[in-house]
């Protein structure tokens, strides 16, 4: 089978080696592979019947309940920060080592779930900020209108 020495989301396979790791194939099945790598894998699957066969075997093992510790770890998202930690990350309330880990998790591992949570939290903060501005303007215009009476 493929190169087993590296994990899926820690980087691309060796550019000289078109082979993908089992962990990358499983991440692809779980839709957890970085988009660029996922596109490369899809292209390779179209051209390599042996890779298609490996993916089919891994899908079968996965459906049959043959799980590795790594697969369980990824599915349960044991290394993912929760939304509270991500909120503290956005507001700069984490220790440097905690913030470094979250940057690594988001930027190097490319955890799609955590990146989606972070985007959601950023949007929520932006909406809250915009809402405060609107309320402030409304209050100022109402207060000015009331003073004129």
The whole-chain average pLDDT of the chain stands at: 80
Is there a contact between 37 and 12 (Cβ–Cβ < 8 Å)?
A: yes
**pLDDT of 20-56, one tens digit each?**
988 889 888 888 888 889 999 999 999 999 999 999 9
Over the stretch 81-113, which tens digit does the pLDDT of each residue have?
Answer: 999 999 999 999 999 999 999 999 999 888 889
Q: What is the DSSP string of 45-96?
A: HHH-HHHHHHHHHHHHHHHTT---HHHHHHHTTTT---HHHHHHHHTT-S-H
How far apart, in Å, are the Cα atoms of 61 and each of 78, 79, 127?
Answer: 22, 24, 44
* Mean pLDDT of the region 114-132: 85
User: What is the reported pTM?
Assistant: 0.53
Mean pLDDT of 65-88: 83
């Amino acid at each position: 089978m493929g190169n087993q020495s590296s994990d899926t989301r820690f980087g691309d396979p060796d550019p000289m080696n078109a082979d993908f790791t089992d962990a990358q194939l499983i991440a692809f099945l779980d839709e957890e592979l970085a988009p660029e790598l996922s596109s490369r894998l899809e292209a390779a699957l179209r051209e390599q019947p042996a890779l298609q066969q490996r993916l089919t075997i891994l899908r079968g093992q996965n459906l049959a309940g043959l799980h590795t510790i790594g697969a369980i770890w990824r599915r349960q998202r044991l290394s993912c920060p929760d939304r509270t930690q991500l909120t503290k990350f956005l507001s700069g309330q984490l220790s440097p080592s905690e913030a470094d880990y979250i940057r690594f998790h988001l930027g190097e591992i490319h955890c799609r779930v955590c990146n989606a949570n972070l985007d959601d939290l950023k949007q929520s903060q932006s909406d809250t900020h915009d809402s405060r501005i609107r309320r402030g303007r409304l209050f100022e215009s109402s207060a000015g209108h009331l003073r004129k009476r």
